[in-house]
Structure 1
Amino acid sequence: MNQIRSRDKSILRRYEVIGAVIVCILAPVFHFLFEWSGGNPFVGIFAAVNESVWEHTKIVYFPFLFFSVAEYFILKPDFQRFLIAKATSMGLILLLMVTFFYTYSGMFGAESLIVDIIFTFVLTIIAFMVSYKIYLSKRGSGQYFLPALILFFAVLAMELLFTAFPPHIPLFQDSVTGVFGFPV
């Protein structure tokens, strides 16, 4: 694995900080974007369409994905390292969002918008830190590339499909209306 120069590390670190800030700004926008669009189904593919836990993963996932794509084309980093770092971070943030929500709401029997917002921001920052650390890791990326590629496409497919075809389990059910997926 090629050694990464200090200058490249500094540039990457700067972009990861910028990415965390941008995603933290865009997350609330993606929460309301579907509503603001008048219920446009195309917008609903990328933005939350209801108050289910699953739909809330999209408010971080897609801004993170869009920024990562832009970051790749701007920085032109090593593709394998970059994909491993980003796929792992995306998978981690989604897993932690769902786990944290069910853990704290189950423990306390209540939900808190403030806790959800703060934790979303904290997780976003952690995801970009993890991405940075993984990218700089000296371990060979060859053995992790295929699992990262599978993870990337599996999560992308789920994020794209489960709004239109949600499984009928609580993770996908709107906590306000009881609806699954797109509002009727």
Structure 2
Amino acid sequence: MNYISHDRARHLLRYEIIGAIVVYILAPVFHFLFEWSGYNHFVGMFAAVNESVWEHTKIVYFPFLFFSIAEYFIVKPDFRRFFAAKTISMSLIPLLMITFFYTYSGMFGVESLAVDIVFTFILTIFVFYVSYRLYQSKRDFDSRFIPIFILFAAVLLMELLFTAFPPHIPLFQDSATGTFGFPTA
């Protein structure tokens, strides 16, 4: 079982902090990237294409995924341990964003951009913290690699496919236009 040395842990922690900052900065970029791209559908697979709650999960999920890929090549950690830590953390993003939004908007009957921005900041720090702690833990991720890979594939496919083929339920409905998925020209 691979355990992380103190020096490697500090090195990884440095990149987790950088990652949280980068992802938080990229979140608003990923909110508008589809529009800025001239409504390019390829870009829309990774960036929010409308104002639905679901599409907003992509503004943290994909920057986290892309940063994690870069981080892997920079830090060169144990692959399975890193993959497991990142997969579990990334899986929390849509779950926590959706839960938080519906909880606060349902409890108070309001939607607030300020609350959403603060929550995105907290969520970003939290998922990088979870990732770091999981990587450092003594858990045996080797024996759990297949279920973790299935989790990764399932969440990634949902993030991609529900943009192109959204179920017609409120989670996927654009709050501004009442439409679903890619906007029609």
Shift, 1:4, TM fit: 1.5
1:91-130 equivalent positions in 2, closer than 5 A:
91-130=91-130
1:181 alignment partner in structure 2:
181
The one-letter code of the counterpart of 1:7 is D
The one-letter code of the counterpart of 2:164 is A
1:38-49 equivalent positions in 2, closer than 5 A:
38-49=38-49
Once residues 37 and 162 of structure 2 are traced to their aligned partners in structure 1, the CA distance between those partners, rounded to angstroms, is 20
Please list the CA deviations of residues 38-96 of structure 1 after superposition, one character each: whole Å capped at 9, or x if unmatched. 21111111110000000000000100000000111111111110111001001112111
- Percent pairwise identity: 73
Shift, 1:147, TM fit: 1.8
SS at match of 2:45: helix
1:146 alignment partner in structure 2:
146
Matched, 1:81 2:81: yes
Once residues 4 and 84 of structure 2 are traced to their aligned partners in structure 1, the CA distance between those partners, rounded to angstroms, is 16
The one-letter code of the counterpart of 2:11 is I
TM superposition outliers: structure 1 runs of 4+ over 3 Å: none
1:132 alignment partner in structure 2:
132
Once residues 160 and 48 of structure 2 are traced to their aligned partners in structure 1, the CA distance between those partners, rounded to angstroms, is 11
Once residues 161 and 3 of structure 2 are traced to their aligned partners in structure 1, the CA distance between those partners, rounded to angstroms, is 39
Q: What runs of 5+ residues in structure 2 fail to find an aligned partner?
A: none
2:14 alignment partner in structure 1:
14
The one-letter code of the counterpart of 2:153 is F
The normalised TM-score by structure 1 is: 0.98
Aligned residues: 184
Please list the CA deviations of residues 76-132 of structure 1 after superposition, one character each: whole Å capped at 9, or x if unmatched. 111110111001001112111000000000001110000001101100100000000
Q: Are the equivalent residues in 1 in contact too, given 2:2–2:78 (CA < 8 A)?
A: no
1:59 alignment partner in structure 2:
59
Aligned-CA RMSD value: 0.8
Once residues 87 and 39 of structure 1 are traced to their aligned partners in structure 2, the CA distance between those partners, rounded to angstroms, is 29
Shift, 1:6, TM fit: 0.8
Q: Are the equivalent residues in 1 in contact too, given 2:30–2:48 (CA < 8 A)?
A: yes
Once residues 144 and 113 of structure 1 are traced to their aligned partners in structure 2, the CA distance between those partners, rounded to angstroms, is 39
